[in-house]
Amino acid sequence: MQSETQSKESISFEDFKTQVLEDYKIAVTSRECSLLGRREVLTGKAKFGIFGDGKEIPQLAMAKVFKNGDFRSGYYRDQTFMMAIGELNIEQFFAGLYANTNIEDEPMSGGRQMGGHFATHSLEADGTWKNLMQQKNSSADISPTAGQMPRLLGLAQASKIYRNVEGIDAEKFSDNGNEIAWGTIGNASTSEGHFWETINAAGVLQVPMVMSVWDDEYGISVHAKHQTTKENISEILKGFQRDEENKGYEIIVVNGWNYVELVEAYEKASKIARTTHSPVLIHVNELTQPQGHSTSGSHERYKDEDRLTWERAFDCNVKFKEWVIENNFATEAELDEIDKDIKKQVRDGKKAAWTAYSQPMKDRLTDLLPLLENAASNSEDKNAILSLKKELSEIKDPLKKDLLVAARKSLRYMIGQESEAKSQLINWIETYTTNSQPEYSSNLYSESSNNALSIEEVAPTYDDNAKDVDARVILRDNFDKIFGTRPETLIFGEDSGAIGDVNQGLEGLQEKYGELRVADVGIREATILGQGLGMAMRGLRPIAEIQYLDYVLYALQIMSDDLATLQYRTKGKQKAPVIVRTRGHRLEGIWHSGSPMGALVHLLRGIHILVPRNMTKAAGFYNTLLEADEPALVVECLNGYRLKEKLPNNFGEFRTPLGVVETIKEGKDITLVSYGSTLRLVEEAANELELVGISAEVIDVQSLLPFDLNKDIVKSVAKTNRLLVIDEDVPGGASAYIMQEILENQNAYIHLDSKPQTLAAKEHRPAYGTDGDYFSKPSTEDIYEKIYEIMNEANPSKFPKLR
Ligand SMILES: Cc1ncc(C[n+]2csc(CCOP(=O)(O)OP(=O)(O)O)c2C)c(N)n1
Ligand SMILES: [Mg+2]
């Protein structure tokens, strides 16, 4: 049996034996970590545990063929794989369980993610790329099941781009596109739409993606009969199998306890994907869950005795041990000795991890207790503080929180007094908070010197006799310049290729730059986003086009859960500077004129959201973003492509700054704040109001996230003393967000002489047709009358009632 494996053919028995025993040690170490990890949760030292027990052996086989430059996109069962590629050791495993916030101790997320969510570091401390070809890479896991799929597609596609597009500086990212993106998913999670969308897309694109399904027949308590047609994922995927005539998938089925067959399967998969770029699906059957799904319940509740007996017998580690003995790689006694050794190693590693995690709190406690003692002596309520101190000192392993709670509560017993003891305590609280808060809140956005906010504005310049052109021409010529000068850029979307997008902003560019760089793709927004995300994680500069703003919702879950959290959940160790291009507001009908900007602003913290009012501004945003190292969503105005704009002469160079508002009409009576397509109506209303003596100042927000960094809007309100925010979102949507920024963060309330108000669309989706639009969204008349009403209330004699 062994002689059939390639490993055995190419290496000596002794070498093979060494490898087998190394694998055995990793499998046992991983299992011991799972067993002890569960106990740490049950005794309360860790909050939650989800482990990789029962999935060890296939992961060893995958690790064997996983090369430098490759990427994993997987889920919470993959601890054995991470150990086998040398990216997770025992202490780090426990540091993750305890939520150690030191990224050196807990490299997966610096304590931000629960254990079992894995990542490697793609970035240097300054945010620049490491050489990803000199390490094994794992994109950072997320908890939503199948959420790893869209990104996996992009990670695989990057190899195809690097192999086939000339001129890209690939040194840190690729060796001629030989890298594989390895996906893992649980059997039950293949029920998710993301799984099917990704599988189909990878088959169409023919990218080097090897997808492993870890099949243990269950998704928590729910059996395969409720999850999968025919209870068999590879069986129903058979139509994807490639043959002489058609490209497709290589589909491999293998049992998860059979070491030899697994090694063969992964070697075969690796060879196919690396050389031909054909995707491969490996259905790994007959896996188990020795401890059940997670620490939140026991599987004895839903597995019958037969199943539990079978699971004990077919536990992959048990079968592996039997195989090692049967094939004379070691005796049972030798393996037992190894087991014993490893048990001790894991116990020691766990202890070391606990000390590393808990010692800093104990150290701070020694600073704090004397301060509390002192505070008590200086307080009229001495006993109250002493009792807080006592409670704190009795906690065996205090959390950061415990220290702060005691310190902050103590201050309440010192209100109204001045003392050295009190200032020392305040000082301690402030220093402790300043040091602790970033451990939980840093890196939502890029903190590198290339962050988008640090990219300076460059104004568009014009020839003396610059023509007025259809605005889409400005986008097209700017994209032309971008693709001509930056080989690592590419754009893809529905109708983006052959016809040059539905509004001709990419006209002729596919012909010029090829089908890989200006590409048509299927109708599958989540994986369009995933393509962008994955390729951006491998050093490319993708522009993912979502045809209309209303369809961003299909990609929204991935944008929110994966892209927006990426820098945060890796504490700045991974980035994906993808640009998401879309167009929205004001066309016709329920699904062509939505403006859910409030929803986006709230779900996408971590991504910049830009709402340029014209195409010169939009093009400028693309130029800015390509200089920067973080993701953004750019919403072009659907009704702006055919409006005339003056043709600039510095394409690719002019840059619209982020977070900077623009006053597009000066005025003294009221400040009107708006953005995007609505602005034209606001300007119209403002001009009409001049005729009755109302002078409105109109401000274009341009950038919802970040918002008015220079706090210019409050300067306008200080002058006009009145404020109206207008947009096309639902009431309380983005307009409420804008209002909060202006009133609360910019303190505009102190300047107000009239009630600050918002004017938004109706609560329902916008109805079809010109009248549907008029009765659904704010019209010029609505805006005019709202402003007039505010002025009438302020000065009824000058502005008598309109109606
Ligand atoms: C989108 C989503 N829905 C539900 C959950 C809760 N959940 C976590 S794991 C899991 C079962 C997954 O089963 P499977 O994919 O077979 O993986 P296994 O745990 O069996 O390895 C569920 C329902 C989740 N994390 N994400
Ligand atoms: Mg399962």
Judged by its nearest atom, the ligand closest to the C-alpha of residue 194 is: 1
CA distance 191 to 196: 8
Angle, alpha carbons 72-83-51 (nearest 5°)? 85
Which listed residue (283, 293, 299, 592) is catalytic?
A: 592
Question: What is the CA(146)–ligand 1 centre distance, in A?
Answer: 8
Atom in ligand 1 nearest the alpha carbon of residue 294: 19
* Residue from 189, 195, 215 to probe ligand 1 pocket by mutation (most atoms less than 8 Å from CB): 189
Residue nearest atom 1 in ligand 1 by C-alpha distance? 144
Q: What is the pLDDT of residues 313-358, one digit of tens each?
A: 999 999 999 999 999 999 999 999 999 999 999 999 999 999 999 9
Atom in ligand 1 nearest the alpha carbon of residue 190: 15
Region of residue 292 (phi > 0: left; psi between -120 and 50: alpha; otherwise: beta):
left
Residue nearest atom 18 in ligand 1 by C-alpha distance? 186
Residues with CB under 6 A from ligand 1: 77, 143-145, 186-189, 214, 216, 218-220, 293
Q: 476, 528, 527: which is closest to 499 by C-alpha?
A: 476
Atom in ligand 1 nearest the alpha carbon of residue 192: 1
Question: What is the CA(232)–ligand 2 centre distance, in A?
Answer: 12
* pLDDT at residue 5 greater than cutoff 60: no
Atom in ligand 1 nearest the alpha carbon of residue 185: 15
CA distance 367 to 264: 58
CA distance 597 to 494: 22
Question: What is the CA(76)–ligand 1 centre distance, in A?
Answer: 9
CA distance 398 to 401: 8
Question: What is the CA(188)–ligand 1 centre distance, in A?
Answer: 7
Residue nearest atom 25 in ligand 1 by C-alpha distance? 144
What pLDDT does residue 416 have?
93
Stated length of the chain? 803
Residue nearest atom 26 in ligand 1 by C-alpha distance? 144
What pLDDT does residue 1 have?
34
Burial class from Cβ neighbours inside 10 Å (0-12, 13-18, 19+) for residue 328 reads exposed
- Segment 555-578 mean pLDDT: 98
* pLDDT at residue 6 greater than cutoff 60: no
Residues 6+ apart with CB under 8 A from 735: 598, 725, 726, 727, 729, 758, 759, 760
DSSP 458: B
Question: What is the CA(143)–ligand 1 centre distance, in A?
Answer: 8
71-73 vs 670-674, strand pairing mode: unpaired
- Segment 211-219 mean pLDDT: 98
Judged by its nearest atom, the ligand closest to the C-alpha of residue 184 is: 1
Residue nearest atom 11 in ligand 1 by C-alpha distance? 219
DSSP 47: S
* pLDDT at residue 586 greater than cutoff 80: no
- Segment 118-147 mean pLDDT: 98
Residue that the structure tokens 């983006």 belong to: 496
Atom in ligand 1 nearest the alpha carbon of residue 219: 13
Judge whether 339 and 329 are in contact, CB under 8 Å. no
CA distance 244 to 263: 26
Q: What is the pLDDT of residues 751-792, one digit of tens each?
A: 999 999 999 999 999 999 999 999 999 999 999 999 999 999
Annotated catalytic, 751? no
Question: What is the CA(293)–ligand 1 centre distance, in A?
Answer: 9
Question: What is the CA(288)–ligand 1 centre distance, in A?
Answer: 15
Question: What is the CA(144)–ligand 1 centre distance, in A?
Answer: 7
User: pLDDT over 70 for what percent of the chain?
Assistant: 99
CA distance 164 to 184: 26
What pLDDT does residue 247 have?
97
**Sheet arrangement for strand 696-700:** 662-665, 696-700, 670-674, 723-726, 757-759
Judged by its nearest atom, the ligand closest to the C-alpha of residue 294 is: 1
What pLDDT does residue 3 have?
37
- Segment 684-690 mean pLDDT: 98
What pLDDT does residue 589 have?
87
Judged by its nearest atom, the ligand closest to the C-alpha of residue 145 is: 1
* Residue from 145, 192, 223, 285 to probe ligand 1 pocket by mutation (most atoms less than 8 Å from CB): 145
Atom in ligand 1 nearest the alpha carbon of residue 186: 15
Residue nearest atom 14 in ligand 1 by C-alpha distance? 186
Q: Average pLDDT of the chain? A: 96
What are the b/e assignments for 474-495, b being 16+ CB within 10 Å?
A: bbbbbbbbbbeeebbbbbbbbb
Q: What is the pLDDT of residues 88-128, one digit of tens each?
A: 999 999 999 999 999 999 999 999 999 999 999 999 999 99
- For the question of whether the overall pTM of this predicted structure is more than 0.85, the answer is yes
CA distance 282 to 261: 12
Judged by its nearest atom, the ligand closest to the C-alpha of residue 218 is: 2
Atom in ligand 1 nearest the alpha carbon of residue 216: 20
Number of other residues whose CB lies within 10 A of the CB of residue 800: 8
What pLDDT does residue 588 have?
78
Q: Is 493 helix (H, G, I), strand (E, B) or coil?
A: strand
Q: What is the pLDDT of residues 370-422, one digit of tens each?
A: 999 999 999 999 999 999 999 999 999 999 999 999 999 999 999 999 999 99
What pLDDT does residue 592 have?
86
Residue that wins the pLDDT comparison between 589 and 538:
538
Residue nearest atom 20 in ligand 1 by C-alpha distance? 219
Residue nearest atom 7 in ligand 1 by C-alpha distance? 145
297 — pLDDT class (breaks 50, 70, 90): confident
What pLDDT does residue 2 have?
37
- Segment 205-214 mean pLDDT: 98
Which tokens go with 540?
């490319």
What pLDDT does residue 10 have?
65
* Residue from 191, 220, 295 to probe ligand 1 pocket by mutation (most atoms less than 8 Å from CB): 220
